[in-house]
Amino acid sequence: MIGRPLWFEKSTRLGQRLGYPKVCVEVGLETEFPESLKLVPDRRPAFHVQLEYYNMSVA
């Protein structure tokens, strides 16, 4: 797990457009950021997604 999920974009939450899911996650300052992540949605086959990180700031 990378961090604590704060919110999911509506289409991601509804299981639509899973090739480009959008999730806002709170992470610790010493978190390692992987290049990809395996997702296992309910009642669907598992798949890998490449991760992109943006709008990262220390608040």
pLDDT, one tens digit per residue, over 23-56 is 788 888 888 888 888 877 777 788 888 888 877 7
Q: Is 13 part of any domain?
A: yes
Top pLDDT among 50 and 20 is at 50
Domain range for 30: 4-50
Domain count, the chain: 1
| Euclidean distance between CA atoms 48 and 40, whole angstroms | 9
pTM over 0.75: no
Range list of H helices, 1-59: 10-13
Q: Is 57 part of any domain?
A: no
Does the pLDDT at position 20 exceed 80?
A: no
Q: Is 58 part of any domain?
A: no
Q: Is 15 part of any domain?
A: yes
